[in-house]
Each structure stands twice: as structure tokens, then as C-alpha cells.
Structure 1
Amino acid sequence: MRLVLAAVLAMAGAASAAYAGNCWPPTAQLWPLPATCTFGSGSARLPASCSDLAFKVDAPAGPGLATVNAAVARLQTALFGKPCSAAESAAAGLSTVRISVASTSEWPPRRPGSTIEAYTLDVSEAEAQVAANSTAGALHALRTLSQLLAPSASGASIDGLPLRVVDVPFYGHRGIMLDTARHFLPLDTIQRTVRAAAASGMNALHLHLTDAQSFPLEVPSLPLLAEKGAYAASARYSPKDLADLTSYAGDFGVTIIPEVDMPGHAYSFGLGYPNSTANCPGYAHNINNIPLNPAVQFTADLVQDVLGALAAAFPGELVHIGGDEVVLGCWSEDASVQRFMKENGWTSTTQVLQFFVTQADAIVEALPAGDGRDAVARALGAGRRRPVHWQDLFDNGVKVSPNSVYQVWRSLDDVAPITAAGFDVVASAEDSGWYLNCGFNTGCAYSSWEQVYQTNIEAAVAPGAKGKLLGGEAVLFGEFANAPAVDAQLWPRAAAIAERLWVPTAVNNTDVALPRLTAHACRLQAMGVGSAPTGPGWCDEAAFVPFA
């Protein structure tokens, strides 16, 4: 197994440096584009019966082993209509798929990209061989294999044999943000987004769970938050819903990043617990103006319980606690906040914001890991969890934990000063076109897939701070994105962003990408995802293996 690890790492390093640009197999359209490929002129056909195709997984015991086996079962179902356990096969043609995984222990990942995602895929006329360092790499390899296959009633075929794919993503964090507060999104909509994200090479789903408009998150110790703050009893997420969603996403290699936006955008908190939000009549005409009230102990206890509920459902390292668009003037009108400022000798409401953020960061970093690594984290003297903030706090001069991650949403120009200050950054800047809700709501323009594909986030990083840019996210705020609208607003543009994060910046020719993205949009449709098209045409959904 160590030889597999060394070989994959060596080839991944070469792939990352090279990107030969030759990954156009004779009949398949791969998305995202792998790093390097070689193809021959042969072909093979898989058996028509599931019992004649042997999948052999060679991996050490670990939590990721079940994930690999689940992916194998999904591929069998996509090919044969059902999962099956195949014995040694003597069938003619390509009858064996061998999957070697060096380690399955680091699963689910602590954060998107925290495991090495490199893989190699070798296919001859007799067998396919996968070598991966991690569970994530094995999932990527199976995705690429599925995209190379052309299904038919007599057994799927594959051309270009013998072939080799050596692949590794350029950025570790490749995600989508969904807003479940402006419009409640049912679990099946979120699960469908998970599948489409995985099929497109993404590994993170950032859930903007709460905002001024609604609070759909059930917190057992604070029942009125959802009872009063959700749109309806049927528009809530129970703790079991969230735990099940975490497990579901993990099977597809997707880590969920939960966000409870605070202290701004907090009007919905106050629907259940009015003493948790500030009282500012001069700002009450717009619910987006209402922040939490940091002057009362109840608010600190509420934040502790809400973040504790997130920790119970989501074991990942990153916990997003917002920080954007806090209307400081509201605190100037609230008598309790003004008394609190006087007691502390503060002269600016920015100091109130600093007080809140310092408390919230400490709460996040003290949250239990939920995955058995708490003792190790404490022994290392580091918090298991990391707070994520929108960039506004940096812009306002608020000090955050050095362990924090910033999400840049205004402009790519803001990446440089934040990375220069030593913070890790996730890019989703509105001026990059990665706010996919733009054009459906007012205030910002629609961006085509070509525009988002050609965005150069790498150039935005401060000199010497390249490693501080973790990756990026496609953002879909939900003012005009209810469940029926989500798919077409996301796809295929989110897939273009996925490849932008998978390949180096120099790989950016939209004419070359167009036929592959057109095919991928059809592939998503074959998976039951309502992707928009790239232009006029027709999708033969039967030509694709619907696998993620």
C-alpha cells in the first residue's frame, strides 16, 4: 500500500506541474478535465451482466472503506440497475475493476481538500485499475471511469485503450453555497445538489442556514427559534435531518459547512426570543438591519446552544458564523447596548462587534469535534474547529482568531490584503461572477458560464501567500431561488466553476471546454438534475452513465 501512495503522490506532483492538455478521449467528454491522460486505439466492452464484472477493493480498514464500497454499489446500479456482489469473473472483455486505496482513515475529511485527492486510472482491454491515496481520490477515479463508459443494452463500451489518467485537483476547497433561509429547500433538493456537485468534481456544500427571513434550524434547547422563526412547521430541519444529510453528503465525498449568520441578519432569532435581538425603531423598516444584542447574557447562551447544535450535526472543521453587513447604527439606538458600552468604557459600536466576534470565535474553537479527535486536538493545543467569516469583519478592522478562514464576497481585489495578513481565504467574489443569483435578483449582473470559467482567482493572492487561497465557492443566494429554480440557476455554471478550481488557471479556453460542458450538462440531466443547457441542442440521456 505504501508503494501505491508513493506512486500516486509522485504522479500527482507531475500532473500538477504539467497539465499536458491531452485529456480528450475518442468518444467521451470528461468533466472536470484531468491533469494528464494517454490513450491508445483499442476498445473493450464490459459484461452485460453485473455478476460478470468483478469489483475488487484493496484498502485498509477505516471509516472511508464503507464510502468506497457505497460508491462501487452506485456505479453498479448506474450500469446494471442494481448493486451486486460479483465473484471472480471469467467473462470475456473488461471484466475486473481493481481499486487500491492507501488510506481510508481520514474520513470524512476534516475540511474540504484536507486529504490528498490524487489518483491514477489505468484501463486495458481486460481490466481497470484505480490507485488512490485516499477515499476522496478513489471517488474521483470512479467518477472519471464512469464518464469514459458508453452504456448500451449489450454492455457498456470504452474506447481509447489502453488508457491512463493521472489526476489531482489544483485547489482543495471546491464548493457551492446554498441559501436555505430566503427560501426553504427540501432535503431532496439539497441531496440532488450534493450529487451534482460530486459529479462535477466539487467537495464542499456551504449551507447558509439562517438569515433575517427565516430560522429553519431546530435547536432542541431553544425550540422557539424554529417554531416562530421558520416559515412553517414543514419548513424546518430537525437534528436527524441534518445528521442524515451529513452522512449522505459524506458518501459522495462532500463536506458540509454550516453557516448561522450573525450578529447581523438576525431578525429571525428575535421572532422566537425577542430579547436576543437589538431594539432600534429607526432601523426596523428593514428586517435585514436587525442584529443580535450582545449586551445581554441570554444572547451569549443562545449562540453557545445554536453552535452546539451545529457541532452535533456537522463534524467538519469549518463552522461559518457570518459577520457580514452588520448595521452598527441599530446598536446606537438600543438602550441596553448603550449601557453596556458605557459600562465597558467603549465609545464605538465597532467595539461591540469586536466583543461579539471574540466570544463567537472562542465558542467555535471549543466545540467538540464529533469524530473522536477531540483529545488529539487538545493535546496539540489547537481548536478542532475553525470559524469562517465573511470578509466584512476584516474590512471593519475587527480582530478575529488567527485560526479563522475568511470568505471574500465583494471583490477579488480583497483577496490580496487578507492573504497578506496571514489568513486562509475562500474566494466567491461577486465581481468574479461566482454569485450565480446575480441577474435573477437586482443589484448585480448575470454571468455566463464563459465568464465564470475564465475567472483568475490565482492572480488575486498576495505575493508569497499562494497557499493561503484554499479555493472557492459558487454562491446561490435564495431571494429568487426556491426549490424548483435551484438546478437551472446553478448548473452548468457551477460545473464551470468546479473545473476552474480543479485545473490550473492557464487551462481556460472556452471553445475547447464548450463541447465537454455541453455533454456534462446532459450528464447531469441523466442524473435527474435540471441543468440549463449551454445552447441549442438535444440531450441523449441514454448516452451517459448517471453516476456521482
Structure 2
Amino acid sequence: MKFKNVPMNPLMIRRAPIATIGEPWPLPQKYEVNENIVFRITEPLNIKIRNNTCDVLESAVKRFEENVFRFALEEYYTNLVHIEGSGFESLDKKYQHSKYTKAVNLTTFHIYVNSACSKYPKLQSDESYSLLIKNFGIVLMSDEVWGALRGLETLSQVIFSWKDQYFVRDTLIRDFPRFKHRGVLVDSARHFMTKDVIYNVLDGMFQNKMNVLHWHLVDDQSFPYQSKVFPDLSGKGAQHPLLTYNHEDIADIVEYARLRGVRVIPEFDTPGHVYSWGFGYPDILTQCYTNSRKVQGYYGPLNPARNSTFAFLKKLFTEVMDVFPEKVLHLGGDEVPLECWVTNPEVSALLSRLNRITTPSYGDVMKPVWEWYTNRFINILKDIRQSRNEAGQYILWEEASKNNLNIAKDAIIQIWLGGGKEILKALDQGYRVLFSSCWYLDHSKYGIHWTDYYLCDPTHHNIKYQPSLINDLKRREDKILGGEVCLWSEYITSESLMSVMWPRASAAAERLWSSSTVISIQSAGRRLQEHRCRMLRRGLQVGHINGPDYCLLPKHRNDFKSKNIKKRNAEKMEEMNLGYRSSLVFKKINVKFRAISYRTSI
């Protein structure tokens, strides 16, 4: 807070921005609103799906009705109305205006989807939509069902409540995403993430128009994916036998995501980050040596010198492709400890057979083996796809292009270390690109920092003072598929994930969806305040974003909470009773056992 005509401001009263009401996030491409005309939404709203429909649309309509008529945000109140000279004194009177009391009722909502529904979303899916809110009703139009989903979410955000009634402004929206791929990475290997938390992540993604869940399933620390063809991967590699995802769990998550227009891309990182694979199947890993001697238990990347390793990969990924319907797989390829390969005689012999011995710095000598492994692995995956008459795509981390590996140009490179120069390098090599470098949410810091995520753009990250490079990137933006927010879980658990991820990930969501010209921190800050409260109101335990503020929860949620407390108390009492009864049974058994022991001793 600042005061006029005061040379110094010793009070330093920090406050979050005054939240908007009935404003969407992310901001649509074309958004025209007449603030002086509002319509009253009647409950129930007569929703008519005019042509194509399917389970995706019908379930989205049900969620829309719940979000509007149970969770719609109430008009914002600020205690600054009580401070003379604050400029907010007349705020209460603003909403007594006749535009609210004389608002025309809107009773019908028409939804038009031009094409028959596809079962699963894909990179090429059309998410564009048009939304018209006029005195004759509400009309949502889209070419594909995935656009209708985005339009339904926008409509749910622009409807707000005032004095227990629902209102919406005269609005025209024509909208589409700037980037096709707008992802969130969840790491379930360092800390196991429960299904409920993953569901919550997907709900947050839907509310922010994100459309790819990059699921980093396994890593050095654990292998929670339950494989039927190699059961010891999770049987011995999971952090605990109960902390695993079976095929039914994955099917549930994929289905939950599908109904929200979200693709689920699994990542099984290789050839590095595979130590947990060796708990059950050590023979597929490279034994590391020191001074020509084996170091017991010291295993490095997958062993590329053994045909059995690739047979293992073929069998495992044939199953993975059965379990995950998504045609894109993330193959990892980052932080490969080449030094271990250098020490291993089998891998050294493979390098000799490749006949590409060079003398670069220690470790780099194994780049030909790394390149050979990657190409052989990708060719195996392509053969599996070809046998099924289907196409597939593959994502690799930045190291592939950074180290000039000569691999298939249909691969997608995910930039996580560098900025615009690294993007250009990958584009020059013929790859398409995803970007993540500035959206690592696990790199948390104190205070307001969503602005860093919000102003970060793939077309000028770390090259803002080099116009020629920026212009080159902008000309080739169609090769930048989008980006991902990454939340690595070394220090994130199921209990903390949501509050760390949201609403900070929302900043990147708007950058990936909205026009590149939408960069006003002041405007975004107010809408983000509203959006945070909206996600909280809908039941997501999101974190702070802008400093001192508040969010009102609806009355029914308090009722729901009290019912839950009563239910939990009843369940607790039942557990206590069960425990008491069990202890009595145990005592009786113990008495009998002692009696038998006594008779036996006699």
C-alpha cells in the first residue's frame, strides 16, 4: 500500500492485489466484455447439446453445472471500504446498481460440436472454441469436443454469484491455445504420489487448460510401476510393496485424464536413472569398475553390450504400450553416467566393435555407445508400433541435442538446461521442441515469484538482448510444440504437492495458452487472485501466491466438512470398538495358549 504525498512509506503494509470477479484464466485470445450489461443465470440452466455428443462432453457438462451452482465465486469484499480516502468507500454501492436488480434472465445454453468425438486427445486435437453470451442465451461452438471442454471451463469461470444469485456479463470470446502441448510433470519415483493426488493434479490442469500429464513413473530410487511381464521390477524395486501402480490404477488415471482432455505420457527414463531396475533384474545394468575391479552393488546405466538388455526392453515396452493408449512415450536420456560405461570391459569392447574410438575428455568417449543405444532402442519401439499398424513419437531430454547425438529427427527434444540458444540448436538439428527450463517449480523461494514463471517465454528466454535470435525463434514458433511445468519430488510429497504446484503452475499455463502480448503483471495478478480462490473453492488445496489475502469457501462446503468430521469420528469410534473387541479376542487366545503350554509342560 502506498499513500499519496508521502515522501516515505514507513508502514509497508503488504496486501495481495484486489481480486477480479468473473474473469477467466488463462486469458482468451479474443475477449470482449460489456461491464455495464449483466445477465442473471437461472438454476437449473437449460443445457442443450445440439449435434455431436459423447461421454467426454456429457461428463464435462455435469462438472460445469456443479462448478457453477455449487462453487461459483462470490463478489469480492475488501475491508479497505472502511478507510477514508482509500478509493473503495463506494464499492458496496457499486453492486446495488440497477444492472443487477434489473438483469435479464438467461435460461438456455446451447452447445454445438461440429465433429464426432474422438476417444482420446492428441497433439493435433483442435481445442479452439467460440463463446457468445447475449440476452437471447449462451452459445458455445467448437469443431471438436476438446474445444467444447475448454469453453465449458471458461464459461464456469466468468459466472459469479451475488446475493445468492448467479450473474454473467455480456461477453464475446473466440479462443484457441498458443501452443499445442501444455504439460505438467509429476515425479512418482522419488516420493510415491497417491491416485487421489494425481486426480487432483488433473483437476487443476483442467481448470488451467493444461493438456499433458508427463508422468515420470520410475527412477533410481524406486520402480512403482507393476509390470506383469517383469513382476520383480516393482516387487523388489518399489519403495514398499503397497506403494505401486497396477494396470487398473493406471487405467483409472488415464480415464480420469481423458474425460478432462488430458493426455498421459509415461516416462521410463533410460539408459541412466535406472538403479531401481537392478533390484529385481541386476543383469540388465552395467557393472561399474574401479582400478579394473568390480565394485559390489555399484551399477550404472543399462548395459548396452548385451542383447538380453534390448530383449528385456522390447518385452517391457510392448506391455507399456498396451497399458498406456498415448502414442507418445518419453524415453528420458538425461544425465547418463558415461563414466561407468568407460570402466566396464563389455561396454569398452562394444565401443571397439563400433569402430568409432576417439580421444575426447574422460567420459565423452562413450558418446558413440550412447548414440547407438538410443537408436537401437527407438528402432525397437518403432518395430512394435509398426506391428500394430500405428505411429508413435518419442521425447528425449535436452542432452540428446546438446551432445549432438545422431538420432531420428522425428524425436521431440525437451529443453530443461538452457534457453533460446539451446532451442535454436535443437531446431537446427531438425527436431521439434518442448521447453521447461524456467518452470521448475521444485526450485522454490520465498516471496512472490510467480511473475518469473509468467514472464518466461520460450521465444526469448535468456536471449532478450539478442533481437536476431528472438526473431529467428518467433519465425519458427510452429516447431516449438509447447512446454511443461516440472515438479520433481525429491523434497515434495503427496501431502505437499498440490500446494507447491498450484497456483504457481497457473502462471505458465497462461503463458502457454494466451497470446504472447499478454504480459501485464498488474492485470494478471488480480485475475490470479481470483483464480486461486476459485481452485480452493472447488476443493483443490492450492498454496499462496501474492501475499496477505483471503478466500471464502461456500456455505455448503462448511456443511460438507462438518458432515465429514462426524463421519470420520463415527469411523474412528468403530475402529476403537473393533480394536477393543480384537484385544479381548487376543486375550482369550493368549489365556488358552498359556493353559495349553501349562498342560504340555506337566
Query: Does the alignment reach a TM-score above 0.5?
Result: yes
> Aligned AA for 1:77?
E
How far 1:38 moved relative to its partner?
2.2
How far 1:289 moved relative to its partner?
7.4
Aligned-pair identity in percent equals: 28
> Aligned to 2:58, which of 69, 77, 95?
69
Tell me if the contact between 1:427 and 1:471 (Cα under 8 Å) persists in the aligned partners: yes
> Aligned AA for 2:116?
T
> 2-side partners of 1:287 and 1:416: how far apart?
41
Tell me if the contact between 2:286 and 2:299 (Cα under 8 Å) persists in the aligned partners: no
> Aligned AA for 1:404?
A
> 1-side partners of 2:478 and 2:386: how far apart?
25
The corresponding residue for 1:359 is: 376
Tell me if the contact between 1:183 and 1:482 (Cα under 8 Å) persists in the aligned partners: yes
Partner SS state of residue 361, structure 1 = helix
CA deviation digits over 1:111-153, x for unaligned, max 9? 3xx1121111111234211001111110111011101112468
> 2-side partners of 1:98 and 1:29: how far apart?
21
> 2-side partners of 1:452 and 1:492: how far apart?
11
> Aligned to 1:180, which of 177, 180, 188?
188
Partner SS state of residue 265, structure 2 = strand
Pick which of 131-140 and 345-354 moved more: 345-354
> 1-side partners of 2:376 and 2:32: how far apart?
54
After TM superposition, list the pairs within 5 Å mapping 1:20-99 onto structure 2: 27-40=21-34, 41-48=36-43, 50=44, 53-60=45-52, 65-80=54-69, 93-99=105-111
How far 1:531 moved relative to its partner?
1.4
> Aligned to 1:506, which of 517, 542, 545?
517
After TM superposition, list the pairs within 5 Å mapping 1:188-207 onto structure 2: 188-207=196-215
Tell me if the contact between 2:412 and 2:433 (Cα under 8 Å) persists in the aligned partners: yes
> 2-side partners of 1:195 and 1:497: how far apart?
16
The corresponding residue for 1:458 is: 459
The corresponding residue for 2:418 is: 411
> 2-side partners of 1:454 and 1:134: how far apart?
31
Structure 2: runs of 5+ lacking an equivalent: 1-18, 72-103, 358-364, 462-469, 558-602
Return closer, same or farther for 1:189/1:391 CA change in 2, 3 Å cut-off. same
After TM superposition, list the pairs within 5 Å mapping 1:379-458 onto structure 2: 384-412=391-419, 413-429=421-437, 432=438, 434-439=439-444, 448-458=449-459
Partner SS state of residue 173, structure 2 = strand
> 2-side partners of 1:498 and 1:316: how far apart?
22
> 1-side partners of 2:20 and 2:287: how far apart?
65
1:476 matched to 2:483? The reply is: no
Tell me if the contact between 1:257 and 1:319 (Cα under 8 Å) persists in the aligned partners: yes
Return closer, same or farther for 1:184/1:157 CA change in 2, 3 Å cut-off. same
> 1-side partners of 2:508 and 2:298: how far apart?
29
The corresponding residue for 1:345 is: 355
Return closer, same or farther for 1:458/1:343 CA change in 2, 3 Å cut-off. closer
After TM superposition, list the pairs within 5 Å mapping 1:124-273 onto structure 2: 124-151=134-161, 154-158=164-168, 160-161=169-170, 163-273=171-281
Tell me if the contact between 1:422 and 1:468 (Cα under 8 Å) persists in the aligned partners: no
1:316 matched to 2:310? The reply is: no
How far 1:506 moved relative to its partner?
2.1
How far 1:446 moved relative to its partner?
9.4
> 2-side partners of 1:157 and 1:513: how far apart?
22
Tell me if the contact between 2:20 and 2:529 (Cα under 8 Å) persists in the aligned partners: no
Tell me if the contact between 2:288 and 2:299 (Cα under 8 Å) persists in the aligned partners: no
Return closer, same or farther for 1:369/1:69 CA change in 2, 3 Å cut-off. farther
> 1-side partners of 2:555 and 2:152: how far apart?
17
> 2-side partners of 1:351 and 1:209: how far apart?
28
CA deviation digits over 1:457-481, x for unaligned, max 9? 1236745422110111111111001
Pick which of 357-366 and 173-182 moved more: 357-366
> Aligned AA for 1:35?
Q
> 2-side partners of 1:190 and 1:266: how far apart?
23
> Normalising to structure 1: TM-score of the pair?
0.83
Return closer, same or farther for 1:516/1:26 CA change in 2, 3 Å cut-off. closer
How far 1:368 moved relative to its partner?
4.1
> Normalising to structure 2: TM-score of the pair?
0.76
> Aligned AA for 1:487?
M
Pick which of 345-354 and 521-530 moved more: 345-354
Cα RMSD (Å): 2.8
The corresponding residue for 1:117 is: 127
Return closer, same or farther for 1:145/1:229 CA change in 2, 3 Å cut-off. same
Partner SS state of residue 291, structure 1 = strand
Structure richer in strand, relative to its length: 2
Partner SS state of residue 249, structure 2 = helix
Tell me if the contact between 1:106 and 1:115 (Cα under 8 Å) persists in the aligned partners: no
Return closer, same or farther for 1:180/1:44 CA change in 2, 3 Å cut-off. same
Return closer, same or farther for 1:320/1:254 CA change in 2, 3 Å cut-off. same
Partner SS state of residue 185, structure 1 = coil
> Aligned AA for 2:41?
L
> 1-side partners of 2:442 and 2:351: how far apart?
38
CA deviation digits over 1:29-59, x for unaligned, max 9? 21000112222322222223x3xx2211123
Return closer, same or farther for 1:335/1:288 CA change in 2, 3 Å cut-off. closer
> 1-side partners of 2:270 and 2:500: how far apart?
26
Tell me if the contact between 2:288 and 2:298 (Cα under 8 Å) persists in the aligned partners: no
How far 1:453 moved relative to its partner?
0.3
Tell me if the contact between 1:150 and 1:544 (Cα under 8 Å) persists in the aligned partners: no
Tell me if the contact between 1:151 and 1:544 (Cα under 8 Å) persists in the aligned partners: no
